[in-house]
């Protein structure tokens, strides 16, 4: 049961982080406009931001869920609805081109500022806040094991930092970037399908006992 919760959380986080958004654009932009190192440092900032959201979400969950069981069911329904909404949004935008809007006149940028900006962009991203406040909460067991307080923030960091590091490595080279842009529609539609299935399953499990 606990392992399935971790797998479900990891799956949702991976689907969420892989959908192009403000964080994706920023990592790609730093990789292309500055350097591969700048892209990787930005990825570390994104990972720290994700771990921060995870820890903040978990600190107040267990007491609330134990006190109000109905809230746990409501969060699962809300989480499922959000997954479906995100899937629809991703599917609709699958065929739209990804524009990075790069400037060739960008000034050199320090690595600390790069890390800080990546962290701030992650923390100020409404999509990230909603994911950790609703979907992430809905997938946790009603009683959270102590080890989850260490494993889940670390898992969140690895998923976000790992994905954006891969983005930085690939999109800092011209050929892989062109390949990704060619298959963007298929990747987005696959992600949307998986997210919608997870959303329907969440809603169904909260209503049928």
Q: How far is CA 132 from the centre of its chain?
A: 9
For residues 53 and 132, what is the distance between their CA atoms, to the nearest angstrom? Answer: 6
* pLDDT score recorded for residue 64: 67
For residues 132 and 138, what is the distance between their CA atoms, to the nearest angstrom? Answer: 9
Our CA dihedral for 115, 123, 10, 169, rounded to 10 degrees, sits at: -30
pTM here is: 0.69
**Burial class of residue 59 in the structure, from the number of CB atoms within 10 Å of its CB (0-12 exposed, 13-18 middle, 19+ buried):** exposed
The two three-digit tokens of residue 132, written as one number: 């950790």
For residues 27 and 49, what is the distance between their CA atoms, to the nearest angstrom? Answer: 14
For residues 103 and 82, what is the distance between their CA atoms, to the nearest angstrom? Answer: 35
Nearest CA among 13, 53, 45 for reference residue 161: 45
Nearest CA among 179, 61, 45, 205 for reference residue 118: 45
For residues 154 and 192, what is the distance between their CA atoms, to the nearest angstrom? Answer: 25
Give per-residue pLDDT as tens, 59-71.
766 566 667 777 7
Q: What is the pLDDT along the chain (209 residues), one digit of tens a residue?
A: 678 878 888 888 888 788 766 678 778 777 876 778 988 999 999 999 999 888 877 776 656 666 777 777 777 787 778 778 878 887 887 777 655 544 444 555 688 888 988 888 787 765 566 667 666 667 777 677 888 889 989 999 999 999 999 989 887 777 776 777 778 788 778 878 887 887 888 788 777 75
* pLDDT score recorded for residue 43: 94
Nearest CA among 19, 25, 176 for reference residue 93: 19
């Amino acid at each position: 049961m606990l392992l399935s919760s971790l797998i479900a959380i990891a799956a949702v986080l991976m689907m969420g982080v892989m959908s192009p958004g403000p964080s994706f654009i920023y990592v790609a932009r730093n990789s292309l406009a500055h350097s591969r190192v700048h892209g990787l440092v930005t990825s570390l900032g994104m990972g720290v931001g994700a771990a921060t959201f995870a820890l903040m979400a978990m600190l107040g969950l267990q007491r609330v869920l134990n006190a109000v069981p109905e809230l746990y069911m409501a969060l699962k329904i809300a989480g499922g609805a959000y997954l479906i909404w995100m899937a629809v949004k991703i599917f609709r935008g699958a065929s739209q081109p990804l524009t990075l809007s790069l400037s060739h006149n960008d000034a050199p940028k320090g690595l600390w500022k790069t890390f800080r900006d990546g962290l701030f962009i992650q923390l100020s991203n409404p999509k990230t806040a909603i994911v950790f406040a609703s979907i992430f909460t809905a997938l946790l067991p009603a009683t959270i094991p102590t080890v989850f307080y260490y494993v889940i923030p670390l898992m969140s960091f690895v998923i976000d930092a790992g994905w954006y590091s891969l983005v930085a490595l690939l999109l800092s080279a011209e050929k892989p970037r062109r390949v990704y842009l060619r298959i963007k529609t298929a990747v987005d539609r696959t992600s949307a399908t998986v997210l919608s299935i997870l959303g329907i399953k969440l809603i169904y499990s909260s209503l049928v006992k």
